[in-house]
Structure 1
Amino acid sequence: MTVPALRRTTARFWGTAYTIVVLLAGTNVPAPLYRGYEQRFGFSPLVVTLVYAAYVGALVPSLLIAGPLSDAWGRRRTLVPAVALAAAGALVFAFAQDVSWLFAARIVQGISAGAATGALTAALCELEPRGDRPRAAMVASVATMAGLAVGPVVAGVLGEYGPEPMVTPYLAEIALLVPAFWAMAALPAGRQAHPWRPRRPSIPAEMRSAFAVNAAAAFLAFTLVGLFLSLVPTYVLELSGSDNLVLAGSAVVPLIAASTTAQRLAYGRAGPGTRVLGLACVAAGLACLAVGGSGTSSLGLMLAATLLGGAGHGLVFLAGLTEINRLAPHGCHADVVSSYNVAVYLGAGLPVIGAGLLAAQIGLLNGVRLFAAATATLCALFVIVHLVRARRPRHPPKPSAPIEGMS
């Protein structure tokens, strides 16, 4: 590869990473603003979780359709419309008149993110200048975490100190999407590899077992993230007695910082043990959240829950994405990654509806605590099952009986 070509590939690689950050930041801009929407439109914490889950309800079908579509038609033809849709979702949020607008905006965002997620991860692997797939997986993972953190923080700052708190954050998002649009437009067009048709997700037989284990672990780990992006910002405000949107938006930052740090430390060494350690940390973090919620130690337990849960989440996500990238065949890479991301987003979006139901029945603080305890138990069971299976002795195959007449 010549030097100009290498520079061009490097620029496209980092432009793709930037697009991951901005797209995911945009999907999480509403997190610190939900309390304001509750007061403006008069709805309960259950509706907050349903609005959040509407995003997942649109994202999962989009993932399943756009994963193979990207493999067939090329990355640029999929990603340019996805970025345009992200801007459209931000506009719907900015002009929202009632709760139905929030549902519509989240659905548009879900379609956009679903179309982009698998294709962006696959594009990073293809554009990594030295063909280093583990490095591409690490960059994709860190970019994802950065997007999750940047969106709520920027929205909190602009919502608290800028004009029009329910409009300005979305206008900033649209401005940040403009460079992402041009970065995706600059990707190679690619040739249609094969005809595309809608189909169920297809996991190659040789990697189904590894896929199932990593998908289940990711589902549990991202349940924690869904909780932090939907109810925890309001939970933190109730614990602290404050109404500051910066505090609400920053609640997720220690989680993401711990996740990113753990991924950086584990980079190049991620394996099954990393996944198990990660889930153990997620269980410990959720346990801290479950026993908090009252008394002077609440914020300290909240910080411990955030750091432990974030570190565990990062280990699980990196281990899973590394193994999926390593095992996925070239011709269906985006399809397999998209299927893995289905588990990720289902974990982030569906279980948290249960937390919303609990909050509506027994109050936000108690609802979050009970939900955290139940999820921690599931994570602990996953770890115990893995450890028991790992300790089970593996008996060598019995030698076959000698064939008569042969020495």
Structure 2
Amino acid sequence: MDGDLRGWRPCLLAGAVFAVCMAGTTLPTPLYGLYQDKFDFSELTVTVVYAVYALGVIGVLLLAGNASDAVGRRPVLWWGLGFAAASAVCFLFATALGWLYVGRLLSGLSAGLFTGAASAYVIELAPRGSSRGTFVATAANMGGLGCGPLLAGVLAQYADWPLYLVFVVHLALVACSAAVLLGLPETVRERRPLNTVRPQKPGLPPRVRPVFGPAAVASFVGFALFGVFTSVSPSFLAHSLDVHNRAVSGLVVALAFFASTAGQLAVGRVGVARSLPLGCTALLAGLALLAGALRWDLLPLVVLSAIVGGAGQGLSFRGALSAVADAAEEDQRAAVISALFVVAYAGISVPVIGVGLLVSPIGLEGAGLVFIACMALLVTGAGVYLLRRPVPVTEPGGVR
């Protein structure tokens, strides 16, 4: 890519488009209680509706995670914005539970197209040699995810039409994002026809494999923690802590994503090699705080869990993304990043559905504690592995 196409202005504008798309994926979080009242469905259905989104993401990443390496970043992002708009329309006109499933699936397709392509796009638009490109990409991702429930919670609590206004606002933001994307440059120099894109086979380039395993485990646990927060924490706050203010519910969820952004910023200070084990430690502490919140029904522990666990997720996720992006060749970068997101979004779907299945027989507290125990074992194993075999750090000038 020509040097004059790089710079902070296009990088940040692309990050803003990324954030708008990701915000749309978490907009329904503080609204699930209202949808439960409207359509009369169970807590298990909430987790399944939520997980349909993750299935859409994983499907796109596996089938077309490398599409932007071939056809270019911008065409893939156009499709992503189109699916985001279609998802908002489904929620806007939802008259039955099936509309929620379709809306979440379309949202997942949008996020699946954006995660690999937009991350690579933002990194490539950053000034050459800068260490901040990956931070902008991951901050746009997590910051957007955090803004979604906060925006929806505030509008649902303090404005009219709680199930409609937020999606009208998001449609307007998507339209603005499309206008911004129209003025940004393409970064893929040698593009190929869409019919050359093939579904990705399981496997990674040899030079990526040594860093991918521990990076993927840390990403899985971090996203699983976020999955539980965004799917069942509003219900826990309402039923166990008597917190019915939807703005507060949205803020608690948003705090986890904002803390993730702060954790990502800290990677520049602690370094990629140390950020992964430190992130695993913070994730373990966040899980312990969440266990205490479930056991003793304490709102302060829920907030602390969101902050500490979110920071741990940010440290580990940016470290993971930096490590695998540095290890990948430029023409394989979006595909490798997409593979990391496949594992991460598996963390959002599988454990969350497991929690939903356990709520009926053992209650929300018991289901949450089982989830925490399983995630604690995984993150402890990853942390011990990383302490014994640190992630190798590439030469200066790599993507960070």
Alignment of structure 1 residues 4-403 onto 2, 5 Å: 5=4, 9-132=7-130, 134-189=131-186, 192-194=190-192, 196-201=196-201, 202-267=203-268, 269-295=270-296, 298-387=298-387
The structural deviation recorded for 1:261 is 1.8
Alpha-carbon distance in 2 for matches of 1:385, 1:118: 27
SS at match of 1:293: helix
- Structure with higher Rg: it is 1
Alpha-carbon distance in 2 for matches of 1:19, 1:216: 28
The structural deviation recorded for 1:270 is 2.8
Look up the equivalent residue of 1:28 and give its one-letter code: T
Measured at CA, do residues 278 and 9 of structure 1 come closer, stay the same or move farther in structure 2, by a change above 3 Å?
Answer: closer
The structural deviation recorded for 1:68 is 1.7
Match of 1:402 in 2: none
Alpha-carbon distance in 1 for matches of 2:94, 2:2: 50
Measured at CA, do residues 2 and 123 of structure 1 come closer, stay the same or move farther in structure 2, by a change above 3 Å?
Answer: closer
SS at match of 1:206: coil
Alpha-carbon distance in 2 for matches of 1:247, 1:111: 29
SS at match of 2:84: helix
Superposition CA RMSD, Å: 2.1
Identical positions, percent? 35
Look up the equivalent residue of 1:253 and give its one-letter code: A
Measured at CA, do residues 28 and 283 of structure 1 come closer, stay the same or move farther in structure 2, by a change above 3 Å?
Answer: same
Alpha-carbon distance in 2 for matches of 1:217, 1:293: 23
Match of 1:397 in 2: none
Asked whether the equivalents of residues 157 and 245 of structure 1 are also in contact (C-alpha less than 8 Å), the reply is yes
Unaligned runs of 5+ in 2: 391-400
Cα-to-partner distance string for 1:222-258 (whole Å, 9 max, x where unaligned): 1101111111122122233132111111111322232
Alpha-carbon distance in 1 for matches of 2:67, 2:108: 17
The structural deviation recorded for 1:214 is 0.8
Asked whether the equivalents of residues 19 and 143 of structure 2 are also in contact (C-alpha less than 8 Å), the reply is yes
Asked whether the equivalents of residues 278 and 314 of structure 1 are also in contact (C-alpha less than 8 Å), the reply is yes
The structural deviation recorded for 1:84 is 1.4
| TM-score relative to the length of structure 1 | 0.89
Measured at CA, do residues 31 and 344 of structure 1 come closer, stay the same or move farther in structure 2, by a change above 3 Å?
Answer: same
Unaligned runs of 5+ in 1: 391-407
Cα-to-partner distance string for 1:10-38 (whole Å, 9 max, x where unaligned): 43222210011111100000000011111
The structural deviation recorded for 1:136 is 0.7
Measured at CA, do residues 9 and 305 of structure 1 come closer, stay the same or move farther in structure 2, by a change above 3 Å?
Answer: closer
The structural deviation recorded for 1:365 is 3.1
Alpha-carbon distance in 2 for matches of 1:9, 1:292: 44
Alpha-carbon distance in 2 for matches of 1:236, 1:174: 29
